[in-house]
Chains A and B, each alone.
Chain A
Amino acid sequence: MINMLTATGKVVEGLCIRLGLYAHTFGRAVSRMGSRPWHLRMLLQQAEQVGVQSLPVVLLTALFTGMVLALQSYIVFHRFSAESLTGLVVSMSVVRELGPVLVGLMVAGRVGASFAAELGTMRVSEQIDALWTLSTDPVRYLIIPRLIAVTLMMPLLVIVADFVGIYGGYAISVHLLDQNPAVYIENTTQYMELSDFYSGLVKAGFFGMLIGIVGCTEGFNCQGGAEGVGIATTRAVVISCMSILIADYFLTAWMFG
């Protein structure tokens, strides 16, 4: 019994420490955002890394998600002759849920891991200390550009993913399942509201911020050598993914509840 309580206590303690670290990093970053220097070159570099370089994986994920969704929806709707609803289900699912969540998970795996690994390596090889001795604030130089880049790029990636996902569904429905293209498009657009689209983008921005905070904090506070960097990277991916799924529920409940 005592062992169980001790183990539970350790888990809770670890969780509180991590949450405290994330809040601390976020606070340090936000408190510096209003004043110079802004390191715009770093911001552009990070935006390119997060946005442009994530495009292939995001496009592929969105395309196949839309295609699978169309196939599954059609099979189910065919049982009660409601195949025409396929387009609506695909577009609503992609725009409101699957777009932001799947892009978030992909970016967490690609970008969150790279943030943690890069900053972790810089920490263990004393490059972050070197920045300080060269009169450069490491939070401004390393964390803020990454945080802003991933928060801004996520909604843009989700916009692309939404269109590609919907197109994937359209391609399968029209070319493989012989649905009428005009009916498909009409059903897709008729019941969709702008708020469905916006809600996905708000989620995407929030998920981007989570990925940035978790990845940067884990890397920045990394301890030990190569093993420490490995632990930080794994932790960044796992915690980012879990946070996205948990936050998705609460955001959905808040926006549509």
Chain B
Amino acid sequence: MSDTTLTPRISIRGLSKRFGEKVILDGVDLDIMPGRSTTVIGMSGTGKSVLIKCILGILKPDAGEILVDGENWLELGEHDHLARMQRIGMLFQGAALFDSLPVWENVSFALLRQGIDKATAKKRAIEVLAWVGLHEIENLMPSELSGGMAKRVGLARTICHKPDIVFLDEPTTGLDPIMSDVINRLIVRLHKDSGITILSITHDMKSAAMISDQIALLCHGRVHRQIASDQLDYDQDPMLRQLVEGRAEGPINCSGWGKEMEEAIHR
């Protein structure tokens, strides 16, 4: 079935958000199709994380619409919004594990909140930890984990309650190349095995190409371009090329750069 015949799982229309005078999102339009893995790429500070936080209700946008399965989440009250979160999984950039809880309670947190008994929740946590390649760490505290382990525990927590939609905020940032590859492969496997809808944000181009079906470039507060991930190396859009090739020169203006910085780069 082609994408044009499907109803988007998430449809974002005219989403705007500013902090004081600074405009972060300026009318973002984006459709996330069901069962697809979409990645939003862009420079640091372009509002990728703000976009996800607006969808999840962590931040309140100034204008726009966020339709999830046809329901406008911006019109939901806090109670209803929280109820919808049971269908959502979110991996945070720094994993955001709860310091005071052991690994297994972190992973099965959503299940325990749903009233599932401890033994069942722990069993499920151990299963999911094994799925991300972690064994016999369920009783450790988050402070005892390495960065890569914490990220995998975060991924385990994201999927433990079997969500319909998963959000991934910079899944490979801060990890070494080998651990980044491990995380990317886990995400690909998750997508293949469960067919869930994934929205990721990253500025790691290798990760974006590997884990996505669709890629959207966020620039100057708007979605500038949307392509299939296999077109990432071939698309000739100047902004996309600058980001993919990691060049300082190009149409994307790095905010805060003065003339001196420009000259220094050209020297």
Contact = CB atoms under 8 A, between A and B. Distances in A.
**Do most interface residues of chain B lie in helix, strand or loop, or is the interface mixed?**
mixed
Given A135-B83, A137-B78, A137-B82, A130 B53 contact: no
Contacts of A121: 99
Interface in B80-126: 82-83, 85-86, 88-90, 92-94, 96-99, 109-110, 113-114
Contacts of A126: 92-94, 96
Given A127-B99, A129-B53, A129-B58, A134 B92 contact: no
Interface in A118-132: 121-122, 125-127, 129-130, 132
Interface in B122-172: 157, 167
A37 B115 CA distance: 10
A6 interface: no
A125 B143 CA distance: 13
What class of interface size applies to chain A in its complex with B?
10 to 19
A133 interface: yes
Contacts of B157: 134
A149 to B, nearest CB: 15
B83 A133 contact: no
Interface centre among A125, A126, A130, A137 (most CB of B within 10 A): A130
B85 A132 contact: yes
B83 to A, nearest CB: 7
A122 B57 CA distance: 18
A255 B109 CA distance: 46
B56 interface: yes
Contacts of A180: none
Contacts of B96: 125-127, 129-130
Contacts of B94: 125-126
Contact of A133 (B56, B93, B98, B99): B56
Contacts of B97: 127, 130
A132 B113 contact: no
Contact of B90 (A37, A125, A127, A133): A133
B19 to A, nearest CB: 11
A132 B98 contact: no
Contacts of A127: 96-99
A195 interface: no
A136 interface: yes
Contact of A135 (B53, B85, B98, B99): B85
Interface in B57-71: 57-58
A135 B53 CA distance: 14
Given A135-B83, A135-B86, A135-B113, A130 B98 contact: yes
B5 to A, nearest CB: 31
Interface string A127-170: 10110111111000000000000000000000000000000000
A58 to B, nearest CB: 24
B58 A135 contact: no
Nearest to B160: A134
Given A125-B96, A126-B93, A127-B96, A132 B58 contact: yes
Nearest to B154: A130
Interface string A161-198: 00000000000000000000000000000000000000
Contacts of B82: 132, 135-137
Q: Which 7 A-B pairs have the closest CB atoms?
A: A133-B90, A135-B85, A130-B96, A126-B96, A134-B110, A126-B92, A135-B86
Interface of B: 53, 56-58, 78, 82-83, 85-86, 88-90, 92-94, 96-99, 109-110, 113-114, 157, 167
Interface of A: 37, 121-122, 125-127, 129-130, 132-137
15 contacts: A121-B99, A122-B99, A126-B92, A126-B93, A126-B94, A126-B96, A127-B96, A127-B97, A129-B58, A129-B92, A133-B89, A134-B157, A135-B83, A135-B110, A136-B82
Given A129-B53, A130-B96, 8 more contacts: A37-B113, A121-B99, A129-B92, A132-B57, A132-B82, A134-B85, A135-B86, A136-B113
